A and B are shown apart, each in its own frame.
Chain A
Amino acid sequence: MGKILVFCEHLNGKIKRSAQELLTAGKKSGNTVVAVAVGAQSPSLAAEVGKYGAQEFHVFKDPSFDQYNPELFTQMAADIIQKSGAQIVLASSSSIGKDLFPRVAARLQSGILSDCTQLTIQGDSVLATRPVYSAKCFAKMAFTDSPVQFVLMRANQLPIEESGGTAPSAQEHTVTPSTPLRTLIKEVVKGASEKLDLTEANIIVSGGRGLKEAGNFKLLQELADVLGATVGASRAVVDAGWVPHGMQVGQTGKTVAPTLYIAIGISGAIQHLAGMSGSKVIVAINNDPNAPIFQKATYGIVGDLFEVVPKLTEEFKKALHH
């Protein structure tokens, strides 16, 4: 059996759910699972990665790894992939994953499948499904003679299972850049929201033009707070300047696939549907019974959102907190 390397992102001393999913997938394939984590906290994650099936654990604990830098991370990833002898690399299709691994794949003259929604690994053969044409269709892809097979998975797509494994010892590594870095991260400006990003959220409450004005987004915020959800928006209201572009769901915004997507006052333009139709359960609330969003919805409510949404917030409060 070969080796699968899993790049584990972590936050507040815990590996992210996406990393748990990838470790589980690696473990199930029967390959040896090699976990990699970076940053000052990384050595403390050994028990966590072991719990989900990692047998080897490599860390880069130099504080320079607490902040993502494409050049530094490319060298780190290429080095550890080669040192570990892994033929398969799994990482999250996150801000870091999507930026970093195409460059690493190019350095190793290898193929990469990004933004995948399904993954099957048998021995060293990998089959992954990825949405193309903004999820209007799905491509089942395999590798052909790629030295390393890179797969970037979307979060919340795979099951997690604790394997009951013990903590592997954390092997420490360092990177000496071969050339001085030409990229410098000067500052990170925090977002307004402390909530999970749309691409990681398990529940999303999204609003469109039916809300009539920017101020009415607070109705959605109240509902989202009760549900622990992240708030999204349609292109129309982003273009109108009601909310920032980071909140846009759709073909020129974010592609999301939460367990529950609640579309409020969104008619469902094809470019919006493309970004959210992978959601497991979709609720549409709209005053127009002919709105296209109802064709994609699991549950539909025709009604005045200004009446329905506050009632819904109350009902969820009752259901979830009693």
Chain B
Amino acid sequence: MKIFVCVKQVPDTETKVKIAADNKSVDTAAVKWVMNPYDEFAVEEGIKLRDANAGSQLWVVTVGPKKRAVEVVRTALAMGADEAIVVDSPELLEPLQTAKALANVIQQEGGAQMIFSGKMAIDDNAGSVSQMLAEFLNIPHTTVVSKFSASGEAVIVERDIEGGAKEIVQMQMPAVVAANKGLNMPRYASLPGIMKAKKKTIKEIDWAAAKVDLAAKTAIQSMELPPEKPAVKMIAGDAAKQAADLVHALRDEAKAL
């Protein structure tokens, strides 16, 4: 079985965001880049599926500026992926273009029986690439998946929906599964894994060779920081007074009830 995992490099969750001078992007100079947290679940699930099916191969692929994007596939190799591809792209692609690049590259590599990704990237928060990739490959998808199993050509997943409910979904392979937190516990890269990953050849694909024939359909007009909040109003007194004053303030001042 040939399994693909799509990963993305994103600023670490502790990063403080600074808007760049052009007012349309984020200043990335001081950013520490990490694997998108949801993609870690995808890599782990890919490793488990490969290990459960003798003779399988796990490919990890990313689309991003090569200079830094190469790090994220090295992390996946260190965790246990077999092969890695970096599609060297311009900054700030939109999901439609990323998905098209992934679809084309996966097809150029002979296709996949199973594709995993994170349910969304925590930088652009779109959560669109998995579904678009499935559409371009004309295969089924399920997003927000917290449980996965496969037997033969059939995949059974649990998808988290509103109110803590779950849909139990059966799909026919090949399919795209977008991972939610809770799917598994991603392993840490072992030291031998890291050493091995350093020596691996990573396949690089030019942006032109990814043959993305779609122009951007959206554009950022400006970026803004959240509006400054007025200073907090502290409510003093004993517990009874605090509770009474708070309810009063919420009802009569903030009109939040």
Residues of A at under 8 Å CB distance from B? 68, 70-71, 74, 94-95, 98-100, 102-103, 105-107, 109-115, 127, 130-146, 182-197, 199-200, 203, 227, 244-248, 251-253, 255, 259-260, 270-271, 274, 277-278, 280-281, 283-284, 294-304, 307-308, 311-312, 314-316, 318-320
Contact = CB atoms under 8 A, between A and B. Distances in A.
Nearest to B94: A111
Interface residues of B, number: 85
Contacts of B224: 137-138, 140
Contact of A188 (B19, B156, B167): B167
Contacts of A197: 162-163
A134 B13 contact: yes
A63 B125 CA distance: 33
A304 B96 CA distance: 50
Contacts of A300: 232-235
Contact of B250 (A142, A271, A281): A281
Contacts of A194: 163
Contact of A142 (B124, B136, B221, B240): B221
A138 B232 contact: no
A149 to B, nearest CB: 8
Given A111-B217, A251-B13, A277-B226, A102 B168 contact: no
Nearest to B11: A133
Contacts of A103: 131-132, 134-135, 141
B246 interface: yes
A133 B221 contact: no
Given A136-B17, A308-B242, A112 B257 contact: no
Contacts, number: 271
Interface in B229-252: 229-230, 232-235, 239-240, 242-244, 246-247, 249-251
Contacts of B256: 203, 259-260, 280-281
Contact of A134 (B122, B166, B181, B232): B122
Contacts of B146: 245
B127 interface: yes
B214 to A, nearest CB: 6
B161 interface: yes
A77 to B, nearest CB: 12
Interface stretch (B50-58, B80-88, B169-177): B169-177
Contact of A312 (B13, B160, B221, B247): B247
B223 interface: yes
A237 B128 CA distance: 29
